Chain A
Amino acid sequence: MTRWWRWLLPLAAVPVLALLAYGFKLDPRDIPSPLVGRPAAPFTLTSFDGAPMTLEALRGKVVVLNFWASWCYPACYEEAPVLERGWRAYRDRGVVVLGVDIQDKEEAGRKFIRDFGLTFPNAPDPTGRVSVDYGVYGVPETFFVDRQGRIRVKHVGAVTEAVFRDTVEALLAEPAPGG
């Protein structure tokens, strides 16, 4: 009688261990978004200033759509100055930064904007409709929309200076729609 089966059990554990080793190295927060490459969902919100905030009016511009909340510490606090600097540096080159404050108290959101001196448009999303339309599952999440209105990059976690610059430059380097 061959005893090949004596080796079979330990050998069967090898692929299982390999799978676990691979799985434990993955970041469970890094969930691929099915929205990348698809047209950005249209929305109309009312900004904290009372002005309408809509995506449709921005076709032809590169849009950085940032979802944040005042309770999201520290990531949102790290990226707020980055977004403000990026907005100031790139607004003349056809880049718009939009902030959507989700699952927040309005007063806390206003204070956050004041504290960081944010000058780009920011709007609350009181019903959560826009958050769900963009498949947001946490804050901060940032969508980079190209000039054709398609979502090109979804960034989970605080946007760094390098991520902002590199992504926006790459999208600006693409030819504008229709030309």
Chain B
Amino acid sequence: MTASAGRRTPSGPAVLALVVVLLAALPADAQQPSRPVDDQQVYEVAADLRCVVCQNLSVADSPSEMATQMRAIVRERLAAGETPAQVRQYFVERYGDWILLSPPRQGFTLVVWVAPLVAVLVGLGLVALLVRGWTRRRGPALPPVDPAMRERIRRELEREP
């Protein structure tokens, strides 16, 4: 076992030479060596991307062939050293902001994020105005009941069976 393993293991300089040759053979645009990418990283990027052939499903959650291929592309680009933001950008450049399940919080789509807050604030303001209107419309306070009348009401009530 040890002998055969030793025979199969190339010597140090040979490994170095092999690495140099492989690095030289890499295409010019693959500057970063590939690094291990765990499923969680792929999932996080894919979860932000719309599955283009589905309705309301992310690339992470869809079993479709297209989503599977897109996950492979995400993994490959992460392995090539791209950041998650760069991978997202790759898809946005081809599909537009439409590919993102959350619209970007800038430019025109900022409206989607801000509008609900504005609506809530306007609603609260409206409620405040209404409440003020109701309280103000109530007329002057009723005159206090004089003690004689109060006494009479008490007696009338006691007479009831």
Q: Could you tell me which A residues sit within 8 Å of B by CB distance?
A: 1, 5, 8-9, 31-35, 103, 127-129, 131-138
Question: How distant is the Cα of A132 from the Cα of B136 in the complex, in angstroms?
Answer: 64
In Å, the complex CA distance between A137 and B91 comes to: 12
A5 contact from B66, B91, B126, Cβ within 8 A:
B126
How many angstroms from the CA of A134 to the CA of B95 in the assembled complex? Answer: 8
Most buried by A among B70, B73, B94, B129: B94
Contact B94–A134 (Cβ < 8 Å): yes
Task: Taking A5-B130, A31-B96 as given, write out 12 further A-B residue pairs in contact, using a Cβ cutoff of 8 Å, ordered by the A residue number.
Answer: A1-B136, A34-B92, A34-B95, A128-B69, A128-B72, A129-B69, A129-B73, A132-B69, A132-B73, A135-B94, A135-B96, A137-B53
Q: Does A32 lie within 8 Å of B96, measured CB to CB? A: yes
B113 interface contact, C-beta 8 A: no
Name the B residues within 8 Å of A137 (CB-CB). 52-53, 95
CB proximity to A under 8 Å, residues B61-93: 65-66, 69-70, 72-73, 91-93
CB distance from B67 to the nearest CB of A (A): 10
Would you call the interface of chain B mostly helix, strand, loop, or mixed? Answer: helix
CB < 8 Å A-B pair total: 52
On whether the beta carbons of B53 and A128 are closer than 8 Å, the reply is: no
Chain A CB within 8 A of B133 CB: yes
Residues of B within 8 A of A (CB): 52-53, 65-66, 69-70, 72-73, 91-96, 98, 126, 129-130, 133, 136-137
- List 25 A–B pairs whose Cβ atoms lie within 8 Å, in order of A's numbering: A1-B136, A5-B126, A5-B129, A5-B130, A5-B133, A31-B95, A31-B96, A31-B98, A32-B96, A33-B96, A34-B93, A34-B94, A34-B96, A35-B94, A103-B65, A103-B69, A127-B72, A128-B72, A128-B73, A132-B69, A132-B70, A132-B73, A132-B91, A133-B94, A137-B53
Is A131's CB under 8 angstroms from B133's CB? no
Q: Who on chain A is nearest to B52 by CB?
A: A137
Q: Taking the nearest CB of chain B, how far is it from the CB of A53, in angstroms?
A: 19
**In the complex, what distance in Å separates the CA atom of A80 from the CA atom of B137?**
74
CA distance A103 to B129 in the complex (A): 59
Give the chain A neighbours of B129 by CB distance below 8 A: 5
Residues of A within 8 A of B52 (CB): 136-138
Q: Which of A33, A135, A136 has the most CB of B within 10 A?
A: A135
Q: A5-B133, A8-B126, A129-B73 are contacts. A135–B66 as well, Cβ < 8 Å? A: no
- Measured between beta carbons, the chain A residues less than 8 angstroms from B66 are 103, 128, 131
Contact with B94, one of A1, A103, A128, A132 (Cβ below 8 angstroms): A132
A1 in contact with B137 given A132-B94, A137-B53 (CB within 8 Å): yes
CA distance A64 to B96 in the complex (A): 22
5 closest cross-chain pairs (CB), A and B = A128-B69, A137-B52, A135-B94, A135-B95, A34-B96
